[in-house]
Amino acid sequence: MIHLYVGPTLAPTEPTLRARQLRVLPPARHGDLDDPEIERGHTVVLIDGVYHQAPALRHKEILAAISRGIRVIGAASIGALRAAELHSHGMLGSGRIYHAYASGTLTGDDEVAVGQTPDGDLHAQTWPLVNVRHILRAAERDRILTSRTAALLLHALAEIPYPQRTEPAVRAVCRRIAGSELLLWLRAHRLRDPHWGDLKRADALGALALAQARDLPPAPPRASRPVPVSTGYTRAWANRRAAQEVEGQVLPTAARLAYQQIFDPEFPQVWGRWLQHLAGQPDAVPLGRRLAYVLDDDPDLAPAPHLVFRPVPDLSDPETVAFLLGRETAADREAVARYAAANTTVRDQVRDFSPEAIGDDVARRTLARLWRTDTAAVEDSAAARGFRNGADAIEHMKGFLAGFVADTSERTA
């Protein structure tokens, strides 16, 4: 299966996009490569991606996909940029734009950037500078422009921010600097071939053909210095998509874990046993005493292990999930689903409501009451329950707060 992330570089009507075993997806964004439909042995072709209107696809997400046995090919747009940056770590690059970035001939990401309308229309509204370069070189070869005029035109068009490099703007600059001969020459080419001069499109089609080839070359060798692909960040990103079906309900695993972290009074003991488990020592010496030994400190004065070690668990791992959710009950799962529904209900009733808009101090006071402590100690209590910090616990509490308040009101009514 080939998963193609593409938007303005190839029009939705492109006949090649109707090929079998081809899954066409919108421009890639942060988190997309954690899609469970992208499996080991599949190929991802990265052409377009977002980076202004939503978080961009990170380099480590691509490396993590490669480490899972997924081939990743990049070309034409952000795919060419990422392939040039990661080709020594297993990502394949394709096309002239990729080679220009890999060789250092091109450096700026604005070369391939295009503007789009905010309504989801995937057609480009502006000209990418890399296509302008390609057309100007052809005009020089055909002696439509001198090298000096071509350089002046390229400089003038490069000075225009990419969202404003519309066709009327390009034409106006061309007329001012080169007269109408260049535009007439371009129009003649476009009458014969509407895609003439579109280097990004040509590279995208070439990358797709490469992905479909039976003799697809092997991935390049890894770099001499291995890049860690499983980090706290990559696990946190993947955890957002982790979900399981339990008793007919599909619930986000991260929400189920956060519920236990917040509401189970015994969870600090669960987290302590988890840290001991991660330490991987066959003896029964508690982690706190081993830590005191390493620090050459008094066991009674050494910092608590949860204040030193704050790992991000892998919620795609069944063993990890079973360990951390060992005390979860059916009632807990029902509460997670009910609290998620409560957010939707309040959002329908209160304009502009979102859990994120709840004040930090409200969530902090709620946590302090639940954990039978004061607000100043919430930070340490959050660490003891496996949260990265107090702010992490507060953000999760906000997601449960509407439902929790509703439950509390019913019990006291």
pLDDT tens by residue, 12-59: 888 888 888 899 999 999 989 988 899 888 999 999 998 777 788 999
Contacts of 254 (CB under 8 A, 6+ apart): 239, 240, 242, 315
Task: Measure Cα distances from 203 to 8, 135, 187 in Å.
Answer: 13, 15, 22
**Each residue of 235-276: pLDDT tens digit?**
888 888 888 887 777 899 999 999 999 999 999 999 988 988
Angle in degrees, CA 178, 184, 187, rounded to 5: 125
Nearest to 273 by CA among 264, 265, 284: 284
Q: What is the span of the domain harbouring residue 133?
A: 129-197
Residue 296 and residue 303: Cα distance in Å, rounded? 12
Is it the case that residue 214 has pLDDT exceeding 70? yes
Report yes or no on 208 lying in a domain.
Answer: yes
Same domain (yes/no): 339, 281 = yes
Same domain (yes/no): 253, 296 = yes
Q: Which residue has the tokens 């899972």?
A: 68
Instruction: Please compute the mean of the pLDDT values over residues 288-311 and round it to a whole number.
Output: 66
Same domain (yes/no): 189, 174 = yes
Same domain (yes/no): 293, 360 = yes
Instruction: Please compute the mean of the pLDDT values over residues 401-408 and round it to a whole number.
Output: 85
Q: Which residue has the tokens 């422009």?
A: 145
**Each residue of 347-388: pLDDT tens digit?**
767 666 778 878 999 999 999 999 999 988 999 999 999 999
Mean of pLDDT over the chain: 85
Same domain (yes/no): 89, 155 = no
Report yes or no on 21 lying in a domain.
Answer: yes
Is it the case that residue 285 has pLDDT exceeding 70? no
Same domain (yes/no): 179, 291 = no
Same domain (yes/no): 277, 152 = no
Contacts of 2 (CB under 8 A, 6+ apart): 21, 22, 23, 42, 43, 44, 45, 208, 211, 212
Residue 87 and residue 368: Cα distance in Å, rounded? 49
Confidence of residue 224 (pLDDT cuts 50, 70, 90): very low
Is it the case that residue 222 has pLDDT exceeding 60? no
Report yes or no on 225 lying in a domain.
Answer: no
> How many domains would you assign to the chain?
3
Residue 239 and residue 232: Cα distance in Å, rounded? 10
Report yes or no on 124 lying in a domain.
Answer: no
Q: Number of helices (H) and strands (E) in the chain: give both, helices first.
A: 18, 7
Same domain (yes/no): 299, 392 = yes
Same domain (yes/no): 247, 341 = yes
Residue 84 and residue 326: Cα distance in Å, rounded? 45
Is it the case that residue 300 has pLDDT exceeding 70? no
Q: Which residue has the higher pLDDT, 188 or 250?
A: 188
Residue 156 and residue 177: Cα distance in Å, rounded? 9
Is it the case that residue 223 has pLDDT exceeding 50? no
Report yes or no on 234 lying in a domain.
Answer: no
Report yes or no on 233 lying in a domain.
Answer: no
Its pTM stands at 0.73
Report yes or no on 67 lying in a domain.
Answer: yes
Same domain (yes/no): 395, 281 = yes
Report yes or no on 219 lying in a domain.
Answer: no
Same domain (yes/no): 347, 372 = yes
What pLDDT, on the 0 to 100 scale, is given for residue 352?
67
Residues pairing with 250 in the sheet: 245
The sheet carrying 2-5 orders its strands as 22-25, 2-5, 43-46, 71-75, 92-94
What pLDDT, on the 0 to 100 scale, is given for residue 276?
84
Same domain (yes/no): 81, 162 = no
